Amino acid sequence: CHLIHYLRLSHHLIVLNYLICTFDKLKSVSSEDINITDAVFDGVEVRVFEPPAKQDERLKRSVVYIHGGGWALASARTSLYNNLCRIMAESLNAVVVSVEYRLVPEVCFPEQFHDALRATKHFLQPDVLAKYSVDPSRIAISGDSAGGNLAAAVCQQLSKDEHLTIRPKLQALIYPVLQAFDFNTPSYQQNMNMPVLPRYVMINYWIDYFNGNYDLAHSLLINNHTALDVGQALSFRGRLNWTSLLPSSFKKNYKPVIQTTGKAEIIQEIPALLDVRAVPLLAENETLQLQPKTYILTCENDVLRDDGVMYAKRLENAGVEVTLDHFDDCFHGCMIFTIWPTDFSAGVQTRNSYIKWLDENL
């Protein structure tokens, strides 16, 4: 990935995703116990996993799942996500809808958000839920990494939609990426060179998502875009103060990186850096109060650890019931690595904990 990025071969994300999907993509083949079909929800492709109907069973639970990959990689159809959603459907006896949103560089923000929102709202229609025999009071929205970002943003938007009659009962976010305000939280500093997701790779994902210029990467890395003299960022600073939102065990001895003077033109060039549809952690308290019961999974060896921990604290402060499920010995992305040749104990451990919470609360 880094070599492709460095050499600027076509667009590095196109090349990388082509390799991933060519090697990995599955056809729409049903397993013995789960019926797997592809559909289109309001113009957005989805893959639906349906357990067989049981005698005397009325309606099933359901999970809308949004895959990760930096808004640019992977697919609902790759074996890793196909396997995860199939196991969820089997374990929960639930209908799982996996959203195949469009990717960078074909589209950039806010189109991924719009795709996820449209597909979810379509599924929440009473007639669609009836078609899939889904209980409208037992629906969760979930996602990992960039998919966790989209799930949180969609959940916030749904909570403010006065025309909706059905909303998710739960949200479950797996090591979500939730902010581009501060790239020097303790977890960003601690794990800046951690494999799978180093800090500079995450910053480049953000730049790609916003269709920005890679020349801004260093300024973002040192928080020039949210310096004290950048007026557009001032109103958001109190919503992302990790010195008050993180426990001491996460803060350790790290110090905040707050520039006195920065570059306001970065926000002018990329206003989405402060758009809550892209950075759900910056949402106002009035929106957070409307969120459903929440599960957030975080990993110690992950630059995004503190995004999830801070969101959990802000939701809790807003009166939302939150379960923060933290794993000291796990890493970003581990939950989908449960099949050969990337079958890690960390993947099984986190996946089982996540599914257990859904089973107990959905």
Catalytic annotation, residues: 145, 302, 332
Of 173, 144, 131, the closest CA to residue 291 belongs to 173
Say how far apart CA 22 and CA 36 lie, in whole Å. 20
Of 316, 331, 310, 181, the closest CA to residue 250 belongs to 310
DSSP strands (E only) in the chain: 35-41, 44-50, 60-66, 94-100, 134-144, 170-174, 293-301, 322-331, 338-339, 342-343
Say how far apart CA 274 and CA 284 lie, in whole Å. 12
Q: How many CA atoms lie within 13 A of 319 on its CB side?
A: 5
Helix/strand/coil for 128:
helix
Say how far apart CA 290 and CA 293 lie, in whole Å. 10
Longest Cα pair distance anywhere in the chain, in angstroms? Answer: 67
Q: Which residues of 304-338 are buried (b: 16+ CB within 10 A; e: fewer)?
A: bbbbbbbbbbbbeebebebbbbbbeebbbbbbbbb
Q: How crowded is residue 22: how many other Cβ atoms within 10 Å of its Cβ?
A: 8
Say how far apart CA 312 and CA 316 lie, in whole Å. 6
Of 350, 288, 279, 294, the closest CA to residue 140 belongs to 294
Residue carrying structure tokens 């049981």: 54
Q: How crowded is residue 256: how many other Cβ atoms within 10 Å of its Cβ?
A: 13
From the CA atom positions of the chain, what is the Rg in Å? Answer: 20
Q: Quick one: which H or E segment has residue 242?
A: helix 242-245
Of 37, 335, 337, the closest CA to residue 172 belongs to 335
